Amino acid sequence: MRMSDQPAYEVLALRYATTDLHRPRRENFFPGMDLHDGEMPLDYYVWAVRGEGRCLLVDTGFGEEAAQTRNRILLHHPADLLRQAGIDPETITDVILTHLHYDHAGNLDRFPKARFHLQESEMRFATGRHMCHSCLRAPFECRDVTEAVKIVFDGRMVFHDGDAEIFPGIEVFRMGGHSDGLQVVRVATARGKVLLASDAFHFNENRTRRAPFPIVYHVGEMLEGFIRCEELVGGDADLLIPGHDPDVRLRWPILSADLPDVVRLDLHPLKRTLKK
């Protein structure tokens, strides 16, 4: 039972894309931190938060063009998948961008009326001197960053500098690490406060083994971020939602039988997390 004055949102993870099933495990860990052979495919999600009279989106995914150039498998356009889940993209008032990488911040023009929430340090990172280096700019698309700048000039960007409460029960926390301004999102639900970790850790295994994903701006901040994410959920690993782990889709209940790519994170997982 929840106190009636506590907000409780429905939280959906929507898997819109995936990689080749044969992606090698070593591509998901810092060099030298995984010596096993084997395959470890990666899924791409956006997240929706609804309830308390509002509907928010966390990240906007990529579209057909990025899927082709980066050789990813687009299962659904994120906007179409939202519609299938009963959410009209036009009705989304607020979009939280966890960071500006291509798989999180494409399709921005599909939300022409929404306000966007971004860490100030992420915009500085994505438009500053570090983008002179190809290895740091590789996960960004100039097109997406340019769209984000247009949103600033359109008066629809809300910058956060560190931690902030966006609405009652919806908070952001700057983690950095993976990208300079990476933020995670904590949402109050009937089962507790769920943490959408985005790329603070791609897979649970990155966090549990303290073995960072190899796309990283500041390794120390990423490692500290694992600990901070755990603290933000009081150590309950079932409240931690990794950004790209196929396990998310398999562990949480589906929204409806005809939509197996959309799961309810505000409900308890179907089995307990084994590794804390």
Please state, in angstroms and rounded to a whole number, the distance separating the CA atoms of residues 21 and 213.
Answer: 18
Q: Report the run of H or E that residue 196 belongs to, with start and end.
A: strand 192-198
Least distance to Zn ion, CB of residue 202, Å: 7
Closest CA to 199 of 247, 180, 18: 180
Q: Which stretch binds Zn ion (CB under 5 A): 58-66, 130-138, 152-160, 199-207?
A: 199-207
The single residue among 94, 103, 205, 238 that binds Zn ion, judged by CB under 5 A, is 103
Q: Output 103 or 245, the one with its CB closest to Zn ion.
A: 103
Q: Which stretch binds Zn ion (CB under 5 A): 17-25, 30-38, 122-130, 194-202?
A: 194-202
Q: Report the run of H or E that residue 65 belongs to, with start and end.
A: helix 64-69
Q: Output 98 or 169, the one with its CB closest to Zn ion.
A: 98
The single residue among 199, 205, 221, 261 that binds Zn ion, judged by CB under 5 A, is 199
Q: Which stretch binds Zn ion (CB under 5 A): 57-65, 70-78, 183-191, 193-201?
A: 193-201
Q: Output 103 or 171, the one with its CB closest to Zn ion.
A: 103
Least distance to Zn ion, CB of residue 128, Å: 17
Q: Output 101 or 117, the one with its CB closest to Zn ion.
A: 101
Please state, in angstroms and rounded to a whole number, the distance separating the CA atoms of residues 89 and 83.
Answer: 7
> How many residues line the site for Zn ion (CB under 5 A)?
3
Q: Output 45 or 252, the one with its CB closest to Zn ion.
A: 45
The single residue among 50, 77, 101, 186 that binds Zn ion, judged by CB under 5 A, is 101
- The residue nearest Zn ion at its CB is 101
Q: Output 8 or 29, the one with its CB closest to Zn ion.
A: 29
Would you give the binding string for Zn ion spanning residues 7-46, x where CB under 5 A is met?
Answer: ----------------------------------------
Least distance to Zn ion, CB of residue 182, Å: 7
Q: Which stretch binds Zn ion (CB under 5 A): 77-85, 93-101, 106-114, 261-269?
A: 93-101
Applying CB under 5 A, which residues contact Zn ion?
101, 103, 199
